Structure 1
Amino acid sequence: MSVQIKNPVIVMEEDYQVLKGYINAGAEREDEMTLSSELKRAIVVNKAAFPSHAIRLGSRVSVLDLTTNKVVEFTLVMPADANMQRNKVSILTPIGAALIGFRKGEEVQWQVPGGLKRFRILDVAN
């Protein structure tokens, strides 16, 4: 799970409807640090209530990797639209699952293939 327990994951209703199939299909483990676990603890809101600075499908995101001090910029997309050369990252990647529903300025801790990483969300454009 992410470190921001006091700040819940907020997911737009239309994104939740698209992504919930990944929960129901059993595509992921049911434990911590998965897209399934994040969606299960998410607060689902309609488009009007969704914060403009929160990460959702289609968001352009800038994050600081607090381990390497590198800034990474990408757009969060569905798996079929992922393209690393065009900086389009799938929601099913560790960083995609880690960041969905979090907001500009927040820090997130997440298990990635290289180990436990911490990210600070620098900017979000929806």
Structure 2
Amino acid sequence: MTNTKASRRPPIHMIDNEAESLANLAIGNSERFPEASELLLREIDRASLHPAGKVPAGVVTMNSTVEFADGTHEGGHTIQLVYPGQADIAAGKLSVLTPVGAGLIGLAEGQSIIWPARNGSERVLTIRKVAQPA
């Protein structure tokens, strides 16, 4: 199911063992990254969980390459969603433990979510395309 209209919290899907790993990551980093940790935990709590290989097609999972729009750059962004230790924004690797990373996980192609920006405003994140790792 895709939702082309922006929603505060559209339905999302996650791989069950990734959700557990991400919850542990968020809890372990809640003092260092309180906002992103809280956002990520909220998303995990509301996600439909699936075994690996059973997540619906086009869903953002860890290590996915994601093309998305957020209204800040005309052409949008293409990133790989990674764990914090692999993050390198210059190489297009965005940590899931950032506000945008936490907003992307679990969304599917065509979905949009109204999401908080670092400056306190809101923006719309829209998933254009998702490629799973090989």
After TM superposition, the score normalised by the length of structure 2 is: 0.80
2:56 aligned with 1:51, yes or no?
A: yes
User: Measured at CA, do residues 110 and 12 of structure 1 come closer, stay the same or move farther in structure 2, by a change above 3 Å?
Assistant: same
Instruction: Give the secondary structure class of the aligned counterpart of 1:47.
Output: coil
1:9 aligns with: 12
Alignment size in residue pairs = 123
2:125 aligned with 1:122, yes or no?
A: no
Amino acid at match of 1:125: A
What is the aligned-residue identity percentage? 25
Amino acid at match of 1:103: A
Runs of 4+ in 1 over 6 A off after TM superposition: none
Gaps of 5+ in 2: 1-5
2:79 aligned with 1:79, yes or no?
A: no
Structure number with higher strand proportion? 1
Question: 1:26 & 1:91 partners in 2: Cα distance?
Answer: 12
Question: 1:55 & 1:40 partners in 2: Cα distance?
Answer: 16
Shift of 1:8: 1.5
Amino acid at match of 1:20: A
Question: What value does the CA root-mean-square deviation take over the aligned residues?
Answer: 2.3
